[in-house]
Copies of this chain bind each other. A is one copy, B any other.
């Protein structure tokens, strides 16, 4: 699989991600996300995408020129909604409140759309052949901006001393774990499915643990 420029990716997003929710393209993208998430790009089979979408295989190729283009269309839909709940954070935000919202949103995503997390994990494991440029540009500046806010919190004394970038990595990994390693977590917790009770228990643990790691305690906040 050849590396692809960011402008090419962005172009493809504009073509692919704004499909009306009920459209056939959107339907195919859902099927493709599940297939690529489970098997990775090279392991994915166009026939299985077609089967998942309950369509003949040539219909997939009619709507998406190639396997590569289908993959990129799926990938870019995921990137958009990746870190939404931490997007609006600023120096004025309450650290405990902002971190809690971020953790709970990431875990909710892991429950509601585990395939998205698994597809992203596959892309990273593979060495990010299609996202290297994204990592070095928009994702890096996203992290740097949030890291700056955390540093400002540290200077203001409203949060303990922590490495901001590695704190973000820890929140990503600890939450995405429940999507990527769901089969393991459920088996070892002796639970049948990732239902709301499991979600709540896990979110409460993570919020308490991570806030404590940041030198904060969960507290009553003005509503």
Contact = CB atoms under 8 A, between A and B. Distances in A.
Given A172-B177, A205-B162, A187 B125 contact: no
Contacts of A196: none
Interface residues of A, number: 55
Contacts of A167: 209
A90 to B, nearest CB: 20
Contact of A174 (B40, B43, B143, B174): B174
Contacts of A169: 174, 177, 181, 185, 188
Interface stretch (A57-65, A128-136, A149-157): A128-136
Given A42-B42, A128-B184, A169-B174, 17 more contacts: A39-B40, A40-B43, A124-B181, A127-B183, A128-B183, A132-B183, A132-B187, A136-B187, A140-B190, A160-B212, A166-B209, A169-B177, A170-B177, A170-B206, A172-B181, A212-B212, A212-B213
Interface of A: 37-45, 118, 121-122, 124-128, 132, 135-136, 139-140, 143, 160, 162-163, 165-167, 169-170, 172-174, 176-177, 180-181, 183-185, 187-190, 201-202, 205-206, 209-210, 212-215
